[in-house]
Structure formats: structure tokens, C-alpha cells
Amino acid sequence: MKYWLMKSEPTDYSIDDLEQDGFIDWYGIRNYQARNFMRDQMSIDDLAFFYHSNCKEPGIVGVMKVCKLAYPDKLQFQSGHKYHDPKSDPNNPRWVNVDMAFVKKTRLLSLNEIRTYPELETLKILQRGNRLSITPLSEFEWDFINKKLAT
């Protein structure tokens, strides 16, 4: 099993939306490294923290799991859509989604709180210049964060 942190702006799609919908095709990824994580490394039942980004108080707000492996992101072919990619070939799609299923909401573990734990200093979201919307977590990071969420 692998562990992930996946960011979404709550004004676009929030943990409340995921709880209501049950699952989501994790759409709109337009970074090759994040795409490669979804395409090449994610497996069914891998767990991920849902992270609200670009908001008043960014941080971890829930847990979800991979429920469908990578498949072509249909938005890349929709002319006029903000995620349209005219260079993507339907016979060899450039961008993929995975489906993520709701597991649970958690208390907010804010970015500011995450920064206070020396144990998490290697967390990718804390690294200077890292703006990836999907990052892997070690089992230690996953377990440590879960312990903090339980307090």
C-alpha cells in the first residue's frame, strides 16, 4: 500500500463535496510528475489525505482512497474547457484521472501546525518550491499525521 497527499482548492472541490458525492474522478492534473504518480504508482485502496489548498486555512481535512486506476481525463479533449489540451491525442492521451472514494473527514491539520513538527520536515509540501498537487508520503509520515489527527 502507498500513501498520498492530494490537494484541491475547496472552492473547486472540497471534502464536503467528496463526502456528498462518495467518489470523484481526480481531474485536471496537468503536471507530468503528478500524472506519473497517478498513472504508474497508484493502486486500488491506496490511501490519501485530502488537503484543502489556496484557501484561508490550508491543511489536511480528510482521508480518501483510490477506487479506480488511471484512465484518460476526458476534459483534455473538451475544446474551450480550462483543462483542454489540444496537443493530447485520443489514441495516446497525455492526461489521466484516478477515482478517489471518500473515507472520512478529519479535524483540520493546518499547514501551520504541520510545520511545527520536526518529524515532518521532509514532507514534500513543506519543501521550498514544491507546488505539486499530488505527493507521496512515507508510511512514517502517514502514521505520524494520523496520530496528530486523532488528538
pLDDT, tens digit, 9 for 90 and up, residues 92-145: 999 999 999 999 999 999 999 999 999 999 999 999 888 899 999 999 999 999
Can you tell me the distance from the alpha carbon of 64 to that of 50, in angstroms, rounded to the nearest whole number? 7
Q: Identify each DSSP E strand in the chain by its residue range.
A: 3-8, 23-25, 47-52, 59-72, 96-110, 134-137
At residue 17 the predicted structure's pLDDT band, cuts being 50, 70 and 90, is: very high
pLDDT at 38 over 90: yes
At residue 21 the predicted structure's pLDDT band, cuts being 50, 70 and 90, is: very high
What share of the chain has pLDDT > 70, as a percent?
100
pLDDT at 130: 85
pLDDT at 136: 97
Residue 7 β-bridge partners = 51
pLDDT at 22 over 90: yes
Tell me the CATH number for domain 3-149. Answer: 3.10.590.10
Q: What length does the chain have?
A: 151
Domain boundaries, the chain: 3-149
Q: Which residues of 64-77 are buried (b: 16+ CB within 10 A; e: fewer)?
A: bbbbeebeebebbb
Can you tell me the distance from the alpha carbon of 7 to that of 10, in angstroms, rounded to the nearest whole number? 9
The pTM of this model reads 0.95
Mark residue 46 as left, alpha or beta (left: phi above 0; alpha: psi -120 to 50; beta: remaining). Answer: beta
Q: Do 70 and 39 contact (CB within 8 A), yes or no?
A: yes
Q: Quote the mean pLDDT of the chain.
A: 96
